[in-house]
Amino acid sequence: MSYQPPVRDLMFCIEHLSHWDKVSAMEVYSDVDLPDIEAVLEGYARFCGERIAPLSHVSDELGATFDNGRVSMPEGDVEAYAQFVEMGWQALIHPPEYGGMGLPRVVGAAGVEMLNASDMSFGLCPLLTDGAIEALLLTGSDEQKETYLEPLIAGRWSGTMNLTEPQAGSDLGRVATKGVRRGNGSYGISGTKIFITYGSHDLTENIIHLVLARTPDAPAGPKGLSLFIVPQKLVDADGTPGTENAVNCLSIEHKLGVRASPTAVLEYKDATGFLIGEENRGLEYMFIMMNAARFAVGVQGIATSDRAYQRALAYARDRVQSRPVNGSAKDAVAIIEHPDVRRMLLRMRSLTEGGRAMAAAVAGLLDLAHRNEDPDTMALVEFMVPLVKAFCSERAVEVASLGVQIHGGMGFIEETGAAQHYRDARILPIYEGTTAIQANDLLGRKVMRDGGETARRFAARITETEDALAQGCATAQTIGAALTQARAAFETSLDWMLDTSRKDIDAAFAGSVPFLMLAGTLAAGWKLAKGALAAETSRQAGQDVEFMTQKIATALFFAQHILPECSSEQIRIVHGSRSLLDAAFPE
């Protein structure tokens, strides 16, 4: 089964949902137009669909292997990665002064989706490299940028993020790795880091580790962390990788999914590191990067969902089983004819396209926020990033599970491929901050801190879309009514949250994940509804009628089948906190 990158829908989302008028008006993107973007995406789509997608199942079977401190990647991955470098795909959104293509994030998001749908294990390496590039761009010194950015943006070197330690997962304040000033400008880094994605591999000439560690005199807790560059090979004066640094890969994990992505335990034994920015500001720098990284994981969710959907759709068209329940045929038909298979497929499709629509909108906001300092845009981005991360990752698990179900018994057999998505998707609600961490972030930093101001602005924007829907066709009105009800559930929950957080903080946080999922579902439904309005206009103009008709159909399905979940979440939030907090767990 081949993967068909959804370039048509990605372009639709960029054109109609990513605030493209504002993004394209930015000085820095003044020479980028939609046909250019489409051409780039078509090229990347070919590479992803033809070169990477066929590898994913084989590489998952083979897995990354560990032998005596060295990690070997499946041979196919090594070859494909070399081609990835040769074609320069790592450069997509990075600045031209270091060899990047300088395209906006709305394009980058589309690229991340296509690559990760092709093979999430493969996609993780460039994703982590993007993170390291982002960190260096935002917080590195000029010399550090000179040294590291060009080979990272070229994809010749890769990047890692070293946060987690056995005792420090969600709670980074407990990081114990040490960074000791040496006097020569470098630091000696010592400690053990776990769960390091692509912490060791043989795809690139060098690996640039970004490491959270603590200087000897640093305050305890999260405010005593500093961020260090620790190259796997120290960089010689001519810019080439030289002496091996004292960073050892002790093992890689035996994981449920993304098995071709090596997850390393790294031991730093007085390894040479270089401070980024100032001491004790490491966590702050991590937070600057976090929006991009969490957003990217959300996009991985969309990617996995779409791959699972495409696979299930192909199977449902192919598999013949049972007569139709309406008696319209005497013989068995393709299972896509059966209402419940349609239900599952449409659920997969609407959750996937809902995530994509929301991600396109947020990618546009990231572009806008990145280059200007409009506080409202910044605040809305901050508010929406946890929604993208949580909605797209949690829904990816659900979508992948439906994909298995549509395959019946064949879905449980690894050769079919549906099971791989179910395994791969499961990491998404965990890494880059679990769903609960996203919920704490949303509630604590983005709702309570400004007294709900941004959340109310979010709701007000949705009301604008409701008004437009009310002026539209009958379908638009139906979508609008469901959106109104979901938005009202959000506002009721918001009022309750703001009130309760002042009186009973535990009760508020008892509803944090339901609140996050309510907001995420609402946001996806909102963006699909906006898309439906644009699609209706195009359809009436006779443009791409079949595609536009299905955009509207997806939005309607989402409104009638997914948006009602917002009301259940509201009940949980508003009425469910005491039963949650009062229950005990006796031994």
Residues numbered 266 to 295 that lie near a copy of itself (CB under 8 A) are none
**Cα 381–Cα 439–Cα 435 angle in degrees, nearest 5:** 105
Cβ partners under 8 Å of residue 105, min gap 6: 93, 363, 364, 366, 367, 370
CB-nearer residue toward a copy of itself: 313 or 366: 313
CB-nearer residue toward a copy of itself: 89 or 422: 422
Packing angle of the helix pair 545-557, 339-371 (nearest 10 deg): 100
Q: What are the CA-CA distances from residue 344 to residues 63, 351, 531 (Å)?
A: 31, 11, 22
Q: What are the CA-CA distances from residue 539 to residues 323, 543, 545 (Å)?
A: 35, 5, 5
CB-nearer residue toward a copy of itself: 311 or 572: 572
Q: Does 112 bind a copy of itself (CB under 8 A)?
A: no
d(CA 121, CA 427): 11
Q: Is the dihedral of CA 133, 135, 138, 142 positive or negative?
A: negative
Q: Does 224 bind a copy of itself (CB under 8 A)?
A: no
Residues 233-262 binding a copy of itself (CB under 8 A) are 253-257
Q: Does 332 bind a copy of itself (CB under 8 A)?
A: yes
Question: 432 an active-site residue?
Answer: yes
CB-nearer residue toward a copy of itself: 235 or 447: 447
CB-nearer residue toward a copy of itself: 294 or 426: 426
Q: Does 499 bind a copy of itself (CB under 8 A)?
A: no
Window of 13-21, 209-217, 293-301, 314-322 that interacts with a copy of itself by CB under 8 A: 314-322
For a copy of itself (CB under 8 A), the number of binding residues is: 89
For the chain, the residue count is 587
Candidate list 38, 165, 279, 432, residue with the active-site label: 432
Residues 541-570 binding a copy of itself (CB under 8 A) are 546-547, 549-550, 553-554, 556-557, 559-561, 564-565, 567-568
* Nearest to 157, CA basis, from 109, 112, 99: 99
The strand pair at 157-162 and 206-213 is best described as: parallel
Write each residue from 421 to 460 as x if it is in contact with a copy of itself (CB under 8 A), else as -, in one continuous string. Answer: -xx--xx-xxx--xxx--xx---x----------------
What one-letter code names the amino acid at 503?
A: K
Q: Does 177 bind a copy of itself (CB under 8 A)?
A: no
d(CA 113, CA 108): 9
Residues 397-426 binding a copy of itself (CB under 8 A) are 397, 401, 404-405, 408-409, 411-415, 419, 422-423, 426
Q: Residue 148, Cα to own-chain centre: how many angstroms?
A: 25
CB-nearer residue toward a copy of itself: 1 or 436: 436
d(CA 124, CA 427): 12
Q: Does 321 bind a copy of itself (CB under 8 A)?
A: yes
Q: From the CB of 410, what's the least distance to a copy of itself, in Å?
A: 8
DSSP state of 412: G
Q: Residue 44, Cα to own-chain centre: how many angstroms?
A: 19
Q: From the CB of 286, what's the least distance to a copy of itself, in Å?
A: 16
What does the block give as tokens for 299?
């996009």
DSSP state of 156: S
Residues 156-175 binding a copy of itself (CB under 8 A) are 164, 167, 169-171, 174
d(CA 441, CA 345): 33
Using the rule CB under 8 A, which residue among 145, 338, 371, 456 binds a copy of itself? 338
Q: From the CB of 255, what's the least distance to a copy of itself, in Å?
A: 5
CB-nearer residue toward a copy of itself: 91 or 396: 396
Residues 35-94 binding a copy of itself (CB under 8 A) are none
